[in-house]
């Protein structure tokens, strides 16, 4: 089993370097007792980075994925460094922060955008995905064309009047009886999730999520929201692209 250390708080999503213990060595990879590497899931690509073994040799982390309750870090590196990996030793992980921070900006921007679309129209987001500098939201149905300008203004407002992003842990039974809000997304909650990790964008959104998020909407920075395109299932696809990091972004 791997502890997903980045889940514990908003601040833990900003940890870029950590020490962990090797617990298993599946072919081509390693399982650690805990990790700050985000494994592919929820439309967000995995983190990349490196692991350093005792003696200082670095091994590249080329992919990270969940396998049951474990997280497998796929590796590429010098044979000598790979041979040094043994169950029980400690390694130092380092996350490609520029990539991770882009994902956090897009992911938090997506929460915000999905919430504003839902609160203004009742239209929910079926799925979202992030790649490079582009975030894609698939909505269940089209929205009025004039709303696009309003949504652009919403994103601009969240940048110039930053809202805090926090995490609440809500017992599953409580969430099922009294969800804190109508949900802007259509992805269902898996049965075993308890407590429910709810991402709270102050006054704008409450959304269960196991991803990595920014501390503030001000950190999303400038984004370019494109006009929606039709999907064959009757929905629409809305995409935005990141500009350069905002002034409040922590240095890489």
Across the beta sheet with 165-170, what order do the strands follow? 165-170, 196-201, 205-208
Q: How far is the CB of 207 from Zn ion (least distance, A)?
A: 7
How many residues lie near Zn ion (CB under 5 A)? 2
For residue 201, how many other CB atoms are within 10 A of its CB? 21
Give the interface segment with Zn ion, choosing from 43-51, 58-66, 179-187, 210-218 (CB under 5 A). 210-218
Question: What radius of gyration do the chain's Cα atoms show?
Answer: 19
For the CB of residue 218, give the shortest distance to Zn ion in the complex, in Å. Answer: 17
Tokens of 184: 């802007």
Using CB under 5 A, which of 209, 225, 238, 242 touches Zn ion?
209
Cβ at position 10, least distance to Zn ion in Å: 11
Q: Does 228 sit near Zn ion (CB under 5 A)?
A: no
* Stretch of 5-13, 45-53, 171-179, 207-215 lying at the interface with Zn ion (CB under 5 A): 207-215
Closest approach, Cβ 209 to Zn ion, in A, equals: 3
CB of 202 to Zn ion, least distance (A): 15
Q: Which stretch binds Zn ion (CB under 5 A): 12-20, 51-59, 164-172, 202-210?
A: 202-210
CB of 210 to Zn ion, least distance (A): 7
Q: Which of the ranges 24-32, 71-79, 204-212, 233-241 carries the binding residues for Zn ion, by CB under 5 A?
A: 204-212
3-state secondary structure of 241: strand
Question: Using CB atoms, what's the residue nearest to Zn ion?
Answer: 209
User: Among 57, 55, 50, which residue's Cα sits nearest to residue 79?
Assistant: 57
Residue selected from 109, 162, 211, 245 as contacting Zn ion according to rule CB under 5 A: 211
Nearer to Zn ion, 106 or 236 (CB): 106
Told to check if 93 binds Zn ion by CB under 5 A, we report no
Q: How far is the CB of 42 from Zn ion (least distance, A)?
A: 7
Q: How far apart are the first and last CA of the chain?
A: 30
Contact 167, 10 (CB under 8 A): yes
CB closer to Zn ion out of 58 and 163: 163
Annotate 139-181 with DSSP letters as a single string: ESS---TTHHHHHHHHHHHHHHS--BEEEEEE-HHHHHHS-SS
d(CA 183, CA 190): 15
Give, for 117, the enclosing helix (H) or strand (E): helix 97-121
Q: Can residue 49 be called a binding residue for Zn ion (CB under 5 A)?
A: no
User: Greatest CA separation found in the chain?
Assistant: 60
φ and ψ at residue 2, rounded to 5 degrees:
-120, 125
Residues interacting with Zn ion, by CB under 5 A?
A: 209, 211
């Amino acid at each position: 089993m791997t502890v997903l250390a980045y889940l514990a708080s908003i601040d833990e999503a900003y940890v870029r370097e950590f020490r962990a213990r090797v617990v298993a060595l599946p072919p081509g990879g390693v399982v650690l007792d805990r990790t700050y590497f985000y494994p592919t899931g929820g439309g967000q690509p995995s983190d990349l980075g490196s692991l350093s073994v005792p003696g200082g040799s670095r091994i590249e982390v080329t992919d990270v994925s969940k396998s049951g309750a474990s997280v497998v870090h796929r590796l590429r590196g010098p044979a000598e460094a790979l041979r040094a990996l043994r169950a029980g030793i400690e390694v130092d992980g380092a996350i490609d922060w520029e990539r991770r921070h882009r994902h956090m900006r897009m992911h938090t921007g997506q929460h915000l955008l999905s919430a504003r679309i839902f609160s203004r129209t009742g239209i929910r987001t079926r799925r979202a995905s992030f790649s490079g500098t582009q975030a894609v939201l698939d909505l269940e149905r089209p929205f009025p064309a004039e709303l696009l300008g309003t949504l652009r203004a919403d994103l601009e407002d969240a940048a110039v009047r930053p809202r805090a992003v926090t995490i609440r842990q809500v017992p599953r039974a409580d969430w099922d009886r009294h969800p804190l809000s109508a949900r802007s997304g259509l992805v269902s909650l898996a049965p075993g999730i308890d407590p429910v990790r709810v991402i709270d964008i102050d006054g704008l959104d409450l959304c269960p999520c196991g991803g990595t998020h920014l501390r503030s909407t001000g950190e999303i920075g400038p984004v370019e929201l494109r006009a929606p395109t039709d999907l064959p299932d009757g929905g629409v696809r809305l995409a935005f692209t990141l500009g350069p990091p905002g002034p409040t972004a922590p240095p890489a």
